[in-house]
Copies of this chain bind each other. A is one copy, B any other.
Amino acid sequence: MTSFVKETTNLLSRTPALLRTLLIGLPEAWTDTPDTAEGWRPRDVVGHLITGEQTDWMVRTRRILEHGTSLAFVRFERFAMLERDAGVPLDQLVERFAELREANMTALRDLVTDADLDRRGLHPSLGEVTLRELLTTWAVHDLDHISQIYAGLAGSHDADVGPWKAYLGILLRREDPSAVAG
């Protein structure tokens, strides 16, 4: 029998190695550009992921297990990293994230089994949610934000691809989200 918790943890556990492989030691020529004009650089994304490990995912998991729907989650601080991480090198942010994620994976394995997945909590805006939805969102949130890192990396070299830009959706979408590559 497959385990939903194990399959979700399988993906979540890959993110530290993935960010190390992608970002540690990568030249700044690649890493210093946001995904869109008003967007986030790779370092901002990693900072946002750090906030999630510190204050969101496992904190909410514990709240569901301890309080169910009787105590709503605290709102996610979506911009906490901008001040907190100023001046910290990207490589160091990646390692900070990796430590936090690895500790959270250990905690998750100790606390949650598939039998808990239908337990419910209370989101301050979205209302009732299940632990299954929380854990899946944790994983998809990783995927969403790592894609944002990719868009920033690509954007750093927007000026260097010449006429090929017409074929590169990742560049076209930075300027027009509905653009379709040729």
Contacts and interface: CB of A to CB of B under 8 A. Distances in A.
Copies in the complex: 2
A173 B35 CA distance: 15
A21 B27 CA distance: 21
Interface in A13-69: 14, 17-18, 21-22, 25-27, 29-30
A2 B27 contact: yes
Contacts of A22: 14, 18
B21 A163 contact: no
> What is the interface of chain A mostly: helix, strand, loop, or mixed?
helix
A177 interface: yes
Interface in A132-155: 132-133, 136-137, 139-141, 143-144, 146-147, 150-151, 153-154
Contacts of A110: none
Interface of A: 2, 7, 10-11, 14, 17-18, 21-22, 25-27, 29-30, 123, 126-127, 129-130, 132-133, 136-137, 139-141, 143-144, 146-147, 150-151, 153-154, 157, 160-164, 166-171, 173, 177-181
Given A14-B22, A144-B181, 19 more contacts: A10-B25, A11-B26, A11-B30, A17-B21, A123-B163, A126-B164, A126-B166, A127-B163, A129-B162, A132-B162, A137-B168, A139-B157, A140-B157, A140-B168, A141-B168, A143-B151, A143-B170, A147-B170, A177-B180
